[in-house]
Structure 1
Amino acid sequence: MYAVIKTGGKQYRVAAGQKLKIEQIPADIGQEISLDQVLSVGEGDQIKIGTPFVSGAVVKATVLAQGRHPKVKIFKMRRRKHYRKQQGHRQNYTEVRIEAITA
């Protein structure tokens, strides 16, 4: 069984037992969370598609870690103009393991 969930402005296709890094959620490590914005649920060749969400569908997940992605370097330059600008960014994430999908 798999589901397509929406969290942090992104959509993910998840299955039970899968580890996933999503946008940061304020939760403690080891805490169980429920993701209720389920767009579709499928098993084999059967699929339920929500309008926009599937009613009654919930994805249970356990928080494994809170962390930060590797640094992304932003470098801007205009040649022959003595303009150089360097920036960096590290995005926060929450790592979760999908425990169960109920539809």
Structure 2
Amino acid sequence: MFAVVRTGGKQYRVAAGDKIAVEKLAGEAGDTVTLGDVLLAGEGDNVADASKVTVSAEIIAQAKSEKVVVFKKRRRHNYRRKAGHRQQMTLLRITDVGEGKKAAPKKEAAAKKEDAPKAEAKKAPAKKAAPKADAAEKKAPAKKAPAKKAAPKKTEAKK
């Protein structure tokens, strides 16, 4: 199965196992990302419903592309400027192109948001106990660094 996905303002035709270089994406090598903007999907001559297709990829590396040299010149005016630029890019390996439920992750995210206040409530008492321990540490006298001596003033030589 293949899909056409849009990322970084460009479109890519991908299939499982393909390796592509795209504009920089957040994440480190080994992380899995989901390319959500699927424009077209199909298998052979058949076109599938793109809204039901998900594309998942693994980040191979974060790298820089080839250097682009920018050279400006005005003839007969002794004006030359040379600069270079290397664009940040992410190398991806497409792991899966297939029918997936896009609504399911949203429900899981909503469930996690509901559980988050409960988890924060459990963590709150532990935070209250920590300042008491800090107060005990503050009672110990703090050592002060010895004062530095002022440098002797130099007098100006008379001529």
TM-score between both structures, scaled by the size of structure 2 = 0.60
Question: Aligned partners of 2:98, 2:66: CA distance in 1, in Å?
Answer: 34
In the aligned structure 1, how far is the partner of 2:37 from the partner of 2:77? 49
* Structure 1: gaps (5+ residues): none
2:40 aligns with 40
Give the structure 1 partner of residue 132 of structure 2.
none
Counterpart AA for 1:18:
D
Matches within 5 A, 1:1-103: 1-48=1-48, 54-103=50-99
> Percent of pairs identical after alignment?
45
Larger Rg: 2
Distance in 2 (alpha carbons) for counterparts of 1:17 and 1:61: 9
Give me the whole-angstrom Cα distance separating, in 2, the residues matched to 1:65 and 1:43. 29
Equivalent pairs, count: 99
Higher relative contact order (CA 8 A, sep 6+): 1
| Structure 1 counterpart SS, 2:52 | coil
- What is the SS of the residue equivalent to 2:51? coil
The alpha-carbon deviation at position 95 of structure 1 amounts to 0.4
Partner Cα distance (1:96, 1:42) in 2: 21
How far apart are the structure 2 equivalents of 1:44 and 1:96? 23
Per residue, is there more helix in 1 or in 2? 2
Partner Cα separation in structure 2 for residue 29 and residue 98 of structure 1: 14
Moved over 2 A (4+): none
